Amino acid sequence: MSNPQQLRYSKEHEWLSPAEDGVATVGITEFAANALGDVVYADLPEVGTTVAAGETCGELESTKSVSDLYSPVSGEVTEVNEDVVNDPSLVNSAPFEGGWLFKVRVTEEPADLLSADEYAAETAG
């Protein structure tokens, strides 16, 4: 699997897009989606709520388990992906594209987010 070069990654397996007008998109990586198995329910943060980098902001349920969703950045949620709410399997089929989870107006970005290559090394083996 390949991790898009233009994204940055958290060790909790979220990705973050470059901000446009201060708003960045968040999703989970293909590695995480494969580890979860079929995602059947996405509990995403509500628009207008504040999320904090490294803290839980929702849940993803798969057949076998439920996993916390961590925000890779701090800021205010401006949009959630209703397509994923209606069809959580998008997280599996297109984790870096149609399966994005929410958008956030970034107030603070941790310094330790990983590049695509660093994340690939982190998840190798």
Partner 1 sequence: MSSSAPRPLRHTALDAVHRALGATMTDFAGWDMPLRYGSERDEHLAVRTRAGLFDLSHMGEITVTGPQAAALLNHALVGNIASVGVGRARYTMICREDGGILDDLIVYRLAEAEYMVVANASNAQVVLDALTERAAGFDAEVRDDRDNYALIAVQGPESPGILASLTDADLDGLKYYAGLPGTVAGVPALIARTGYTGEDGFELFVAPADAEKLWQALTDAGADAGLVPCGLSCRDTLRLEAGMPLYGHELTTGLTPFDAGLGRVVKFDKEGDFVGREALLAAAERAASQPPRVLVGLVAEGRRVPRAGYPVVAGGEVIGEVTSGAPSPTLGKPIAMAYVDAVHAAPGTPGVGVDIRGRHEPYEVVALPFYKRQK
- Structure token pair of residue 47: 């628009």
Is residue 63 within the footprint of partner 1 (CB under 8 A)?
yes
Q: Does 38 bind partner 1 (CB under 8 A)?
A: yes
Report, in Å, the least distance between residue 64 CB and partner 1. Answer: 6
Site for partner 1 in 11-30 (CB under 8 A): none
Cβ nearer to partner 1, comparing 41 with 47 = 41
What is the amino acid identity at position 1? M
**Are 24 and 17 in contact, with CB atoms under 8 Å apart?**
yes
User: Do 108 and 82 touch, CB atoms closer than 8 A?
Assistant: no
Q: How many CA atoms does the CB half-sphere of 14 hold within 13 Å?
A: 30
Q: Is residue 1 involved in binding partner 1 (CB under 8 A)?
A: no
* 40 lines the binding site for partner 1 (CB under 8 A): yes
Residue 41 touches partner 1, criterion: CB under 8 A: yes
